[in-house]
Amino acid sequence: MRTSQFHEVKTRQEASTTIMWLTGWSMSDKVFDPIRELLPDFHHISVDYSEAGSPEEMLVLIETVAKNILSSNGIAAHSRGDGGRLLICGWSLGGLLALQLAAKGYGDGLVLFAANARFTRTKEEMDLGWSVAAIQQMMIGLRKNPQEVETRFRQNLFREAEIRAGAGLGNILPFIGKWTITGLISGLQILRSEEVLTKLPIIACPVLVVHGTEDKIYPYSAALELVAGLPQAELLTIPDCGHVPFWDRESALVDKLRRWWHEH
């Protein structure tokens, strides 16, 4: 195949792919804007669950959007029958939600930024996640001082070296207070209770896992566990990186995403 023909095929494949974006707890999906700007030939749809009144409402919302994308009469202008594909990209909480969708058969591929298959862990598994007690303390704190809880959480997103290099609240992350209290609590309830570990073997679509080695929120060992449990998973390790593995490396990630997506 000549180069021009190959480019034409790639462009057609990308134009028929919708990327569904699922953001992290307390975060606006605008954190994905630098990546999306480098992917103008894909369709992009974001799901706003910041005002969810319950964890059930949040789960129903994302599933409804996924159904609509895959429906010829839905949000997207194409359907599977027309060659359309659904790629679900999730960060942190959004990654857990993406795995839940994939376990139900939604999505032709997943890109997971700093995600794991179960957030809360036993005392013996603290190298894989957080304790239930820690999540409960956050929920109690949200009812008293939500700004303090969000601020404290964000302080764990970056390594000190990343902050010195320019990462931080004022540069790439939206200001706190964008989510309602019920939305924040609903997200924490999902992190406390939902698990996809037992469902990983049935997730047949290809999965690209992007994870930093110095992640304080989702430990790197959880990424190894995730990849080991998925039938078709590839791990992209980001050395010396915290919980925001797409910060300041958008171009390289987009190049990798394109190559990986075309291979599958």
Report the range of poorest mean pLDDT among 13-22, 45-54, 174-183: 13-22
CB atoms within 10 A of CB 151: 12
- Statement: the pTM of the whole predicted model exceeds 0.75: yes
Q: Model confidence over 196-224: pLDDT tens digits? A: 999 999 999 999 999 999 999 999 999 99
Residue 172: pLDDT band with limits 50, 70, 90: low
Residue 220 confidence (pLDDT): 97
Token pair recorded at residue 199: 């469902």
The mean pLDDT of 78-87, rounded to a whole number, is 61
The mean pLDDT of the chain is 88
Distances (CA, A) of 181 to 29, 51, 176: 18, 8, 12
Instruction: Quote the DSSP letter at residue 198.
Output: G
What is the model's pLDDT at position 5? 32
Over 80: is that where the pLDDT of 191 sits? yes
